[in-house]
Structure 1
Amino acid sequence: MGKGKESIPTIDLSNFPGEYGKLREACAEWGCFRVVNHGIPLDLMWDMKKVARSLLDLPVEIKRRNTDVIARSGYQEPSPVNPLYESLGLYDMASSHSVQTFCSQLDASPHQSEIMEKYAQAIYALTMEIGGKLAESLGLNSDFCKEWTCLFRINKYNFTPEVVGSTGAQIHTDSSFLTILQLDENVGGLEVMERNSDAFIPVDPLPGALLINLGDVATAWSNGRLFNVKHRVQCKEAGVRVSIATFLLGPKEAAVEAPPELVDAEHPRLYVPFTYEEYRKLRISSKSAAGTVDLLRIHS
């Protein structure tokens, strides 16, 4: 029996330590959960949505100025694989300089830049908080991810009547440790795959809530305890869909590997150590949007 869309777990960030067990279960069984009472003002979320929409509506020649320090972290144009999708990106959202560079590339107004700065600071703090609570739920130190990079991306799906029923973003796992998604509250389409079946569960927008997805780095770092959820975006209705994503990637230079506390005789090490940059290149070269982390499993 399917879990049902209403069963995607909701974690109340104002209710810790009472939510640790629920958080642990959500991460192991679903690989995703909603968070409420997260502390980001609704007005700021709404303002960021307006800024995202206006930047994504810019002429393509301006959007192409959005380049960044690593390949594929800047502007992504519609492609044969995802023809309805485009996005703008910022590699290191914790850096005020990087945020200002992003804004200047796109001729953002002072007001837009101010909104970007406020949102980046707020969502980065939340990313660190959620990453810390995930570690604590496994009995580990909460500050493990404080030096990790956060990638910021605003996404636009151009859904027209002619493409209803088609796919906006192909089935994939995120390469990151975790992703925080501010969904479009008007146009849905995100679906997550159940862990033990190929069934997809729609993730309907819930005003004010944020969605957390766990990615490939989380699975390797946790020695298999955290589930990297497969998901996709389907075009279910005509309209422009805008979402805002923050990706906690991994260590900037150190290797991703399970802490000693998560490795023992009953839980042998499952993955070879790797840097995030090595993994990013492996994802690209393998041309695999899901399952790439399995290439790094240790075969006993």
Structure 2
Amino acid sequence: MLDAVRVSEASLPVIDIAGLSSPSPADRRTVAAKLRTACLHSGFFYISNHGIDEALVADVFAEAAAFFDLPAEQKAEVDKSRSKANRGYEPMQGQTLEPGAPPDLKEGYYIGPEHAPDDPRVIAGMFNHGANQWPRSRPRFRPVMEAYLEIMLELSARMMGGIALSLDLPENYFAGYCTDAMANVRLLHYPPQPANGDPAQKGAGAHTDFGGLTLLRQGDVGGLQVWDQGSGGWIHADPVPGSYVVNLGDMIARWTNDSYRSTLHRVVNTSGRERYSVPFFYTGNYAHKVECIPTCLAPGEQPKYPPITVEEHMRAMYQRTYK
């Protein structure tokens, strides 16, 4: 079944995060309390008043649509198979997020922090570290995407401070994780779901996200569906103008012994229109160790997961979805 239902804001709240930038600790803790409720409930929520320039967002979507409209041979020039760092173009049906399902009905483009060939992390062969690929026919593509990456890194670090406060931890608890952080701007294009296609094939199969935080900017075409544990069914996470959908990734779940949720979600584009979205995957410092936060354990409870580095975790996730 590809259907989902629409629900009230109580299930997927819109949280005004302006207070995270306030000099007042009380303002920051007020936002953190709302984050805590959402993280305990579903790990999915919207954020508003985030400070990202709407003109820049519009430029990102315009460049993404223009790139995906290029001839196949031009897109192939920057195919991510040419990159040792998983950067560049991902062809249609290049990933299978849902085990046992057909490949996803989407094409994408990966962009991350730029690392020169002589960067020690590149020389050491650290996973996903390296240079980006840029389409020659789109001269504005690179500066737009680099500007967006930079400001989204700042927003993500601010959100991690809010997550720390929501767990009654020092605001800088995740500072090491946020230092030299890895992240991906991922441009995605979903064609309309075929009328008589395989019902098991979706724009993106049901999955949880790999890393720390995902901050998703949607265009004006919906399709994101979130698994609701309470009802045992899928609910829509429709676009809300000017906002981001934020969800927790598997690493936050590991850190909190699953008290904060990394929730299944998928994309089903039944609109009859082309769908574009831009998730920002905040992965953190690949050398950082993720291990259960002691205060997240109930009395007598043991950690569910062994300690793991961000790099080890990300290698395993890519191997699972890119066979």
TM-score (norm 2): 0.78
Matched to 2:244, the amino acid is: L
2-structure distance, mates of 1:270, 1:170: 26
Shift of 1:261: 4.0
Find 1:175's aligned residue among 198, 202, 210: 210
Q: Does 1:246 align with 2:250?
A: no
Q: Residue by residue, what CA displacement relative to the aligned partner does 1:215-267 show, whole Å, maximum 9, x if unpaired?
A: 11110012222100100111221111110011112431232112344346344
1:155 alignment partner AA: L
Asked if 1:151 is matched to 2:174, the reply is no
- C-alpha distance in 2, partners of 1:142/1:96? 29
The one-letter code sitting in structure 2 at the alignment partner of 1:215 is: G
Alignment partners' CA distance in 1, 2:228 and 2:312 = 28
* Corresponding position: 1:75 with 2:109: no
Q: Is the CA contact 1:66–1:105 (under 8 Å) kept in the aligned structure 2? A: no
- Provide Cα deviations, 1:59-78, integer angstroms capped at 9, x if missing partner: 3333332434445x543222
Task: In structure 2, give the amino acid aligned to 1:33.
Answer: F
1:225 to 2:259 alignment = yes
Question: Which letter maps to 1:89?
Answer: Y
Q: Which position in structure 2 is the counterpart of 1:14?
A: 18
Residue 285 of structure 1, CA deviation: 5.0
Q: CA deviation at 1:125?
A: 0.9
- 8 Å CA contact 2:88, 2:134 repeated in 1: no
Structure 1 residue 3 displacement after superposition: 8.6
Partner of 1:46: 58
Q: Which residue of 1 aligns with 2:7?
A: 4
The secondary structure found in structure 1 opposite 2:267 is: strand
The residue identity in structure 2 corresponding to 1:6 is E
Question: Deviation of residue 28 (structure 1)?
Answer: 1.0
Q: Structure 1 length as normaliser, TM-score?
A: 0.83
- The alpha carbon displacement at 1:41 in A equals 1.4
Instruction: Give 1:121 deviation, angstroms.
Output: 1.5
- Gap change, CA 1:60 and 1:37, over 3 Å in 2: same
Runs (5+) with no aligned partner, structure 2: 20-26, 97-101, 118-129
Identical counterparts, % of pairs: 29
CA distance 1:253–1:283, change in 2 (3 Å): same
Please give the alpha-carbon distance, in whole angstroms, between the structure 2 residues aligned to 1:204 and 1:264: 35
Give deviations 1:94-135, integer Å, cap 9, x for gaps: x4879x953x53115443332222211211111111111111
Q: 1:132 aligns to what?
A: 161
Q: Structure 1 regions of 5+ residues with no counterpart?
A: 289-300
Tell me the C-alpha RMSD between the 2 structures. Answer: 2.8
Query: How far, CA to CA, are the matches of 1:125 and 1:97 in structure 2?
Result: 22
Q: Distance in 1 between matches of 2:154 and 2:223?
A: 28
The total of aligned residue pairs comes to 282
Aligned to 1:234: 268
Aligned to 2:244: 210
Equivalent residue, structure 2, for 1:275 = 309
Instruction: Verify the 8 A CA contact 2:79 2:91 in the aligned structure 1.
Output: no
Distance 2:60 2:313 in 1: 30
- Aligned mate of 2:69, from 46, 57, 64: 57
SS of residue in 2 equivalent to 1:19: helix
Q: Which residue of 1 aligns with 2:170?
A: 141
